[in-house]
Each structure stands twice: as structure tokens, then as C-alpha cells.
Amino acid sequence: MAESQQQREEFRVTGEQLLAKVKELINEGNVRRVIIKNKDGKTLVELPLTIGVVGAVLAPTLAAVGAIAALVTDCSIIVERDAPGE
């Protein structure tokens, strides 16, 4: 049978909204990777997320996202999720 497929979504946010949106996505639990790009489409950071990553392990990641948020005005977040099994 086919391997598990992934779904992609893209969100456009301002720098002020970036950290809150990334935290929201992480809390959803089915996100495999978060990619943050600037308004020109250049990848600023890719965050691979694994099941069970919580708390202190995420602190450096969220600090990096916060630093990026302070530097950009507009950006996009690309989210890769596991497709629900049928």
C-alpha cells in the first residue's frame, strides 16, 4: 500500500502574529514540520516536529521563532501534517 501522505497548508501572518501561530500549530499535535519564509519566499527556518515534543525541548525553538518575529514584518508559515489514515 501507499506510504503515509502529508498535507500542506500555508498561512500569511505578521511578525507580531508569528509566535502565537506557531505555538497554536504545535499544540494541535498532528504537525510534522513548520517552515517559516519571509515575504520574498526565502526560507528563514524549518522546524521538524516529532510526536511528544513538549516543554523544555521546545523552549529554544520558540525563542528562535520569537527572534525571527522581531525581525520580519510579513511572513508565511508552511505546515506539513500527516494525512489522516483511512
Residue 1 lies inside a defined structural domain of this protein: no
Cell of 59: 523552549
- Percent of the chain scoring above 90 in pLDDT: 31
8 vs 49, higher pLDDT: 8
Task: Identify the pLDDT of residue 37.
Answer: 94
pLDDT category at 76 given cuts 50, 70, 90 is very high
Task: Please give the tally of structural domains in the chain.
Answer: 1
pTM above 0.85, yes or no: no
Q: Which helix (H) or strand (E) holds 60?
A: helix 59-71
In which domain, by residue range, is 10 found? 6-82
Full strand arrangement of the beta sheet holding 6-14: 6-14, 74-82, 31-38, 43-48
Task: Identify the pLDDT of residue 10.
Answer: 94
For residues 21-31, average pLDDT: 84
Cα separation of 3 and 25, whole Å? 24
Residues 60, 68 contacting (CB under 8 angstroms)? no
Q: Are strands 6-14 and 31-38 parallel, antiparallel or unpaired?
A: unpaired
Task: Identify the pLDDT of residue 41.
Answer: 92
Residue 65 lies inside a defined structural domain of this protein: yes
Residue 71 lies inside a defined structural domain of this protein: yes
